[in-house]
């Protein structure tokens, strides 16, 4: 199988381990990624607060490049990239005014026709059966909290992906690895997102509630599909525990890392040593076939 690949800035920077693990897993599953040549920033949350046109034109440029390079389906693992690409597609399709301005700005014609996949829909395409049949490690005692955040499922009218209030597609992928998804409360609650920089206390407060609920529902690990969510839940966790004592740590993995673990891939190649919250105890307990609570 072959997909176009739009890594975005996070996967080539702060979320390096997301990129590593995804490529490692896909290699194992005989799936090729072809990176879009000369891709640029998707605009993320900055562009649309500065200029509406720019927030559409940046993803539009990447979509046009993908098409020129003969791609039909592209994978955008970062939830924000996925969201921006989909929103841009929607606006270009429904708003002639913005399409004409974008084409003028880019000096190219835009035409629809690229299918943008997120991490979950990528694995759905590859086939959950393939993950299931290749799983090597016994995950039967592993309780997983699937955390979607906001950008993967909202706005529903545009993304048309899963139930925005109670999504369940990530749970299906997790089940394929043999792990047990927990039925918890906060899978689409806000983690505080970009307030991480300017209002860290807001992020700590919101992320704490998410971590608490996952632990409350006996999860051993939280699995995410968004670099922003990961950064808030993982990087801010030490300070959350420092400011609110008496709490346990919980490792935060990318969905691709969890799949990699189940396939028995090398931990280092999956970037499991690159997290702030140590993943070693979790990995150790898995290899002993016992999961620490």
Partner 1 sequence: MRIGVFICHCGENIGRTVDCPSVASACANFSGVVHAEDYKYMCSDPGQNLIKQAIKEKNLDAVVVGSCSPHMHEKTFRKACSDAGINPFLVEMANLREHCSWIHDDVPSATRKAIDLVRMLVEKVKFNEPLIPIRVPVTKRALVIGGGISGIQASLDIANAGYEVVLVEKEPSIGGHMSQLSETFPTLDCSQCILTPRMVEVYQHPRIKLVSYSEVENVEGFIGNFSVTIRKKARSVKDELCTGCGLCVQKCPIKKVALSDFDEGLATRPAMYVPFPQAVPNIPVIDRSVCTYFKTGKCQLCKKVCGREAIDFEQQDQLIKEDVGAIIVATGYKLYTIDKKPDESMIKGYGEYGYGKFKDVVDGLQFERIASASGPTSGEMLRPSDKTTPKKIVFIQCVGSRDESKGFSYCSKICCMYTAKHAMLYKHKVHDGEAYVFYMDIRAGGKNYDEFVRRAIEEDGVKYIRGRVSKIYEENGKLIVKGEDTLAGVRVEIDADMVVLATAMIAQNDSVKLAQTLSVSYDKYGFFNESHPKLKPVETSTGGIFLAGACNAPRDIPDSVSMASAAAAKALVLFGSDVLEREPVVAKVNEATCAGCFYCQKVCAYNAIEQKEIKDRQGNVIKVVAYVNSGLCQGCGTCNATCPSKSVELLGFKDDQIYAQINSFAEVF
Token look-up 């801010």 returns 236
Name residues whose C-beta falls within 8 Å of residue 165's C-beta, 6 or more positions apart in sequence: 188
Cβ proximity to partner 1: between 2 and 216 the closer is 216
Instruction: Report the nearest approach of partner 1 to the CB of residue 193 (Å).
Output: 17
Cβ proximity to partner 1: between 73 and 212 the closer is 212
Strand partners, 144: 181, 221
Cβ proximity to partner 1: between 73 and 189 the closer is 189
Instruction: Report the nearest approach of partner 1 to the CB of residue 240 (Å).
Output: 18
Binding-site ranges for partner 1 (CB under 8 A): 156-157, 163-166, 183, 185-186, 189, 213, 216
Instruction: Report the nearest approach of partner 1 to the CB of residue 148 (Å).
Output: 12
Instruction: Report the nearest approach of partner 1 to the CB of residue 68 (Å).
Output: 34
Instruction: Report the nearest approach of partner 1 to the CB of residue 189 (Å).
Output: 8
Distance between CA atoms of 243 and 9, rounded to whole angstroms? 31
R_g of the chain computed on alpha carbons? 19
Cβ proximity to partner 1: between 72 and 160 the closer is 160
Cβ proximity to partner 1: between 156 and 218 the closer is 156
Instruction: Report the nearest approach of partner 1 to the CB of residue 165 (Å).
Output: 3
Cβ proximity to partner 1: between 93 and 156 the closer is 156
């Amino acid at each position: 199988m072959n997909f176009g690949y739009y890594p975005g800035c996070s996967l080539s920077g702060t979320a390096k381990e997301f990129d590593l693990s995804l490529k490692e897993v896909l290699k194992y599953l005989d799936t090729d990624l072809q990176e879009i040549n000369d891709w640029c920033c998707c605009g993320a949350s900055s562009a649309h607060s500065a200029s509406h046109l720019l927030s559409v034109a940046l993803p539009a440029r990447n979509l046009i490049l993908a098409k020129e390079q003969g791609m039909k389906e592209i994978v955008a693992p970062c939830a924000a990239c996925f969201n921006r690409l989909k929103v841009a597609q929607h606006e270009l399709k429904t708003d002639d005014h913005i399409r004409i301005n974008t084409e003028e700005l880019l000096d190219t014609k835009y035409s629809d026709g690229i299918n943008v996949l997120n991490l979950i829909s990528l694995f759905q395409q590859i086939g959950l059966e393939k993950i299931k049949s290749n799983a090597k490690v016994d995950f039967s005692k592993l309780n997983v909290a699937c955390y979607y955040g906001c950008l993967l499922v909202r706005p529903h009218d545009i993304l048309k992906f899963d139930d925005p209030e109670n999504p369940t597609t990530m749970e299906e992928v997790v089940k394929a690895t043999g792990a047990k998804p927990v039925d918890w409360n906060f899978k689409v609650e806000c983690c505080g997102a970009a307030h991480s920089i300017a209002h860290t206390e807001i992020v700590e407060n919101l992320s704490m509630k998410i971590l608490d609920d996952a632990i409350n529902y006996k999860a051993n690990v939280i699995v995410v599909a968004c670099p922003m969510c990961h950064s808030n839940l993982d990087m801010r966790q030490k300070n959350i525990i420092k400011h609110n004592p008496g709490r346990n740590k919980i490792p935060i993995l990318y969905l691709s890392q969890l799949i990699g673990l189940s396939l028995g891939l090398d931990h280092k190649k999956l970037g499991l040593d690159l997290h702030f919250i140590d993943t070693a105890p979790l990995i150790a307990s898995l290899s002993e076939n016992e999961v620490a609570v």
